[in-house]
Amino acid sequence: MTTLNYDLAVTYYDETRGFRAGVSERYRAAVRRITEAEDGTRFLELAIGTGLIGLPFMAAGDDYIGVDISRGMMRQIAPKLHDLSPPALAQADITDRLPFAADSFDVVQAVRVFHLLGDWRRCISESRRVLKPGGHLIIVEIRRPSDTSAPPPWAVVQDKWGEILRDLGVDSASIRHGNGLTDDMVLNHLCAVGGDTAMIDLLAFDELPVSCRTMVERRAKRMFSNDWALPEDLHSQAARALCEWLENECQRADDFVQQRMVFRAVIARF
């Protein structure tokens, strides 16, 4: 499993992965609070993408550097900063050697990326190398709250897509880019390599509303990275079948529903 380059998603990434106004700013406040950040604190974000998480840090004048394998994604950041200083960015594969000296950063964070990494342990090793003694490594995934039992209505689209692929003879698990990584696996590894660790929910937020039709349209347009490896003919067949299901069988196809989510962080201090 190689590191996934999101150049293909540049034009729609913010639309499909973005947050409501104010969520990223609240995230910044939570990270600064939990790390006891000061004016001189140096931050590194692994897989910064289009800056959805990093922009509030940069706009506030934090000493913030972003690294990503995709130049196309990072090109979206500077225009969002308008007249502020150009962002500090570097292109690199975060599962390879990072282009920074040892003991360079007080905080290294990765948001919504570790589940996509092949050699995630190497990424942790490199993060430790560039962290200053006593620095924080923050690995964040977006999860449903622990007390939430029912999935959102549009989750049936994802289930149906998997069913259609199986009917076409495609093992959907074989083309997924996810590595099956869990929060506990990350936590246990960080403990094993000597980190003072904790797992906390940094903050809760409401995702942008989504309908079943929205999810079907995104599947049809190949907006999910785990569809990129599908041959064109198979994808077209699957998309047609999914659209037919939407029109003929899907209940509440056009109901927009927002889902409560949390930024769940595994934090280690070395």
13 CB-near residues (< 8 Å, 6+ apart): 6, 49, 50, 73, 76
73 CB-near residues (< 8 Å, 6+ apart): 6, 7, 9, 10, 13, 48, 49, 50
pLDDT at 183 over 50: yes
Task: Compute CA distances 259 → 154, 169, 200, whole Å.
Answer: 10, 32, 19
CA distance 165 to 160: 9
CB atoms within 10 A of CB 122: 15
CA distance 136 to 140: 13
CA distance 48 to 72: 12
What is the mean predicted confidence (pLDDT) over 45-73?
Answer: 97
Pairing of β 63-68 and β 88-91? parallel
CATH code of the region 147-178+212-254: 1.10.8
140 and 112 in contact (C-beta within 8 Å)? yes
- Residue 1 pLDDT: 47
- Where, residue-wise, is CATH 3.40.50.150 in the chain? 1-143+181-207+259-270
**pLDDT higher at 71 or 180:** 71
65-95 pLDDT, tens digit each: 999 999 999 999 999 999 899 999 999 999 9
Does domain 1-143+181-207+259-270 fall into CATH 3.40.1010.10?
no
155-164 pLDDT, tens digit each: 999 999 999 9
- Residue 176 pLDDT: 60
Q: What angle do CA 141, 143, 147 make, to 5 degrees?
A: 145
User: Which band of pLDDT confidence, cut at 50, 70 and 90, is reported for residue 177?
Assistant: low
Task: Look over the chain and give the mean of its residue pLDDT values, rounded to a whole number.
Answer: 94
- Where, residue-wise, is CATH 1.10.8 in the chain? 147-178+212-254
